Amino acid sequence: MNKIDQQNIQVGEIANGLPLTIPVYRLKGDGSGKSVYIQANMHGAEVQGNAVIYQLLEQLKNLGLRGDITLVPYANPIGCNQKSGEFTLGRFDPITGVNWNRLYHYNPELVRRFAGQSDSLSDQELRDAFKAALVEEVEQRLNGPQHALTTGKRIALNLQRLAHQADIVLDLHTGPISAKHLYCPEYARASARYFNIEHVLLIPNEFDGAMDEAAFCPWWQLQTQLKRQGRDFEVAIEAYTVELGSQERIDLTEALEDAQSILSYLNYQGVFVDAPYQPKNMQRHACYLKDYVAYYAPMGGMIEYLAGLGEHLKAGDAFARILRMERYLSEEPLHTLRFDQDAIAILHFASASVNQGTELYKFFTNTFDL
């Protein structure tokens, strides 16, 4: 049985001076394989990842490990604990409105610098030096003047410091009410088949502040830059946002399924000495990010969500109804919403009552098999 270490790292302080800490669990591999970083619950209501980390630990403690594994539940101690009414208000900083998952660091200058200096380095040397530089960038900010860091930035940088040290990064999220889906960088699409996740979103090489992007963008940008200079350099990192289903829900049985999906991917990546995990035989639907379409409420009202999670709609199918009881006499009180393309309903809003302009559904369109 593997030894598991726990370290509680401090990532902030609240107003009454109590420290904000995050538990970090670590298992050591024999050094012959890729290292792994997995975090959960960066958004406060997205709790199921903690259960998945529980189930992963239950499995990992009995496996032969080639690479080191780091697991971080409760990654955001402010978000986890921010209630407003019964629900967890943990998608953004309650003070500033900033999405907690848009605060990771990326310095394009670093890529330019390495692309300019790489000639003398072997691929392995370049990888090692670049990885060290990424970690150092983050540490410099963490160790710089404390008055230059926002609350969210300090949390994000602490996590990013851990993530940059790994070869594989998984950020466990959920949608509001959602089917499982995977955010996968386009270059890693072949790997997406090793997760047991039916819906795969292929994302381009653009940094928008999220953890997965912070992990892979520098590497992908470096590859692109070196390619232009005539050198083939493989992206050394894979990073994914794994959307586990719906928020505000713990299901340990489902979590075991999701743990097995992740273990299947890690097994494919050679993280384990000898492990049985294999991907399920299933159809995987892919969609480019540009074809991932949000549908906003065309009027205010009460929504009956008709399209099920993962449901395949034909153009013109009804997917929701809006009830407007203040207009029972003056106009039709029930409006049926239809989408004008073939689509897969991936997620919908968590509440039945919406303002005009609230995001109701998100759809995969122009899908294809992976």
Write down the least CB distance from residue 223 to a copy of itself, Å. Answer: 28
3-state secondary structure of 194: coil
Looking only at residues 118 through 157 of this chain, which bind a copy of itself when binding is defined by CB under 8 A? 145-154
Among the residues of 118-232, which ranges form H helices? Answer: 123-143, 151-164, 189-192, 211-228
What's the angle, vertex CA 14, arms to CA 13 and CA 16, rounded to 5?
115
Largest CA distance in the chain: 78
User: By CB under 8 A, how many residues form the interface with a copy of itself?
Assistant: 96
Which distant-in-sequence residues (6+ apart) come within 8 Å of 125 by Cβ?
none
Among 162, 169, 263, 297, binds a copy of itself (CB under 8 A): 297
**208 touches a copy of itself by CB under 8 A:** no
Mark residue 122 as left, alpha or beta (left: phi above 0; alpha: psi -120 to 50; beta: remaining): beta
Among 37, 195, 349, 364, binds a copy of itself (CB under 8 A): 349
Write down the least CB distance from residue 357 to a copy of itself, Å. Answer: 3
Nearer to a copy of itself, 179 or 360 (CB): 360
Nearer to a copy of itself, 280 or 324 (CB): 324
Looking only at residues 84 through 113 of this chain, which bind a copy of itself when binding is defined by CB under 8 A? 84-89, 91-99
| Contact assessment for residue 340 and residue 295, using Cβ atoms and an 8 Å cutoff | no
Nearer to a copy of itself, 270 or 298 (CB): 298
Contact letters for a copy of itself, residues 240-259 (x by CB under 8 A): --------xxxxx-------
Q: What is the dihedral of CA 225, 228, 231, 234, to 10 degrees?
A: 50
Rounded to an integer, what distance in angstroms lies between the CA atom of residue 12 and that of residue 78?
9
Residue 123: Cβ within 10 Å count: 14
Among 62, 325, 332, 369, binds a copy of itself (CB under 8 A): 325
Among 1, 330, 332, 369, binds a copy of itself (CB under 8 A): 330
**1 touches a copy of itself by CB under 8 A:** no
Contact letters for a copy of itself, residues 257-296 (x by CB under 8 A): --------------------------------------xx
